[in-house]
């Protein structure tokens, strides 16, 4: 059995609000802890009506404070939006409050559209080397022998696992060069997954944090007691994804029967691509999908995301998934 974890965007559903999303997030995290999930990660996105996890560090504190053992972290912090010192201080604070339970995943995308990114950063001036330099600077802030004349307080000397996130080959190369674990966003951008994993493993250099390559892959699961119900539940995510890629970001809509038959060919192709890393169905169907994916990729860990409109149905999907992993894939 490989470890299995949760990626939560704290979705805001149609008819709901962020306050309800946060209550659902904490409830899911408490269930995930009981069901044996290793990590509970929250993702930084901005200006998106269906995602409530913009203030990622604050929400991590909320989840960590309401649980007792599950690791809680960022999947991830979009580092171009922040100074490395700010993130070192935020996660130094989290690690000081919840020692041994905090993860820090780092991405180089803004997690937003260009207008929102400009509002966050005031300008979009950057170069190809900025993200690697920022990661190295952040690593230095956490070091007990920080070379920077400015020190992160709290933060310095704390052991906080850093991960590189990616949806292309760039993140794989950086994670390998720095000897950090690598999380690939195959749950929404699977096109370069196998190439990125191979590149990371073949170029990995051991570091103080990690002796050998470690790959975590994102995977969509929509599990229910029947294949038909699971397919119905999955249409909420499908609608939201098509809306987003069509320039119409929305709150997570309720499921829609026969949704696939309403799609244009290009929309169907879009969903076929993103759902190539997904399992939709009853327990036996999901088990077969998970097993095939792990065998194909050799993943060291899976990060499960399940964008389901109804909270009880979402809990049930994660429960079924945990039962499958616990029975050994």
Q: What is the pLDDT of residues 14-69, one digit of tens each?
A: 999 999 999 999 999 999 999 999 999 999 999 999 999 999 999 999 999 999 99
Q: Count helices and strands (H / E) in the chain.
A: 11, 9
Cβ density class 126-136: b for 16+ within 10 Å, e for less: eeeeebbebbe
**Distance between alpha carbon 246 and the CA centroid of its chain, in Å?**
22
Please give the torsion angle defined by the CA atoms of residues 269, 234, 6 and 26, in that order, rounded to the nearest 10 degrees: 140
pLDDT 10s digits, 206-260? 999 999 999 999 999 999 999 999 999 999 999 999 999 889 999 999 999 999 8
Model pLDDT, residue 122? 59
pLDDT single digits (tens) 55-113: 999 999 999 999 999 999 999 999 988 999 999 999 999 999 999 999 999 999 876 77
Q: Give the CA distances from residue 54 to residues 50, 60, 77, 173, 315, in Å, rounded to whole numbers and listed in that order.
A: 11, 11, 10, 27, 22
Q: What is the pTM of this model?
A: 0.95
Is residue 323 a contact partner of residue 314, using CB atoms and an 8 Å limit? Answer: no
pLDDT at 120: 80
Asked if 300 and 292 count as a contact pair (C-beta separation under 8 A), the reply is no
Q: Which residue has the tokens 């759902």?
A: 275
190-220, pLDDT tens digit by residue?
999 999 999 999 999 999 999 999 999 999 9
Cβ atoms 134, 182 nearer than 8 A: no
pLDDT at 123 > cutoff 70 = no
pLDDT reported for residue 1: 85
The pLDDT of residue 128 is above 60: no
pLDDT score of 116: 82
């Amino acid at each position: 059995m490989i470890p299995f974890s949760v990626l939560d965007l704290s979705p805001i559903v149609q008819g709901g609000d962020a306050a309800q999303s946060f209550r659902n997030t904490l409830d899911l995290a408490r269930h995930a802890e009981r069901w044996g999930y290793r990590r509970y990660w929250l993702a930084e996105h901005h200006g998106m009506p269906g995602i409530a996890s913009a203030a990622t560090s604050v929400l991590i504190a909320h989840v960590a404070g309401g649980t007792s053992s599950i690791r809680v972290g960022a999947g991830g912090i979009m580092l171009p939006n922040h100074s490395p010192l700010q993130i070192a201080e935020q996660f130094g604070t989290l690690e000081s409050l919840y020692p041994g339970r905090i993860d820090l995943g780092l991405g180089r995308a803004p997690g937003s559209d260009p207008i929102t990114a400009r509002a966050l950063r005031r300008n979009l001036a950057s170069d190809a080397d900025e993200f690697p330099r920022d990661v190295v600077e952040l690593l230095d802030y956490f070091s007990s022998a920080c070379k920077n004349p400015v020190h992160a307080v709290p933060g310095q000397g704390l052991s906080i696992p850093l991960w590189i996130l990616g949806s292309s080959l760039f993140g794989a190369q950086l994670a390998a060069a720095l000897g950090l674990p690598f999380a690939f966003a195959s749950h929404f951008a699977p096109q370069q997954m196998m190439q990125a994993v191979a590149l990371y493993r073949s170029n990995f250099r051991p570091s103080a944090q990690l002796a050998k390559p470690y790959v975590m892959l994102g995977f969509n699961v929509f599990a229910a007691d029947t294949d038909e119900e699971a397919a119905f539940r999955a249409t909420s995510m499908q609608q939201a994804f098509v809306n987003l890629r069509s320039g119409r970001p929305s709150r997570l809509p309720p499921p829609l029967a026969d949704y696939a038959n309403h799609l244009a060919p290009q929309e169907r192709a879009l969903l076929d691509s993103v759902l190539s890393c997904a399992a939709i169905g009853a327990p036996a169907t999901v088990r077969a999908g998970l097993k095939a994916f792990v065998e194909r990729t050799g993943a060291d860990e899976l990060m499960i995301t399940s964008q389901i409109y109804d909270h009880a149905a979402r809990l049930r999907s994660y429960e079924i998934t945990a039962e499958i992993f616990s029975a050994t894939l």
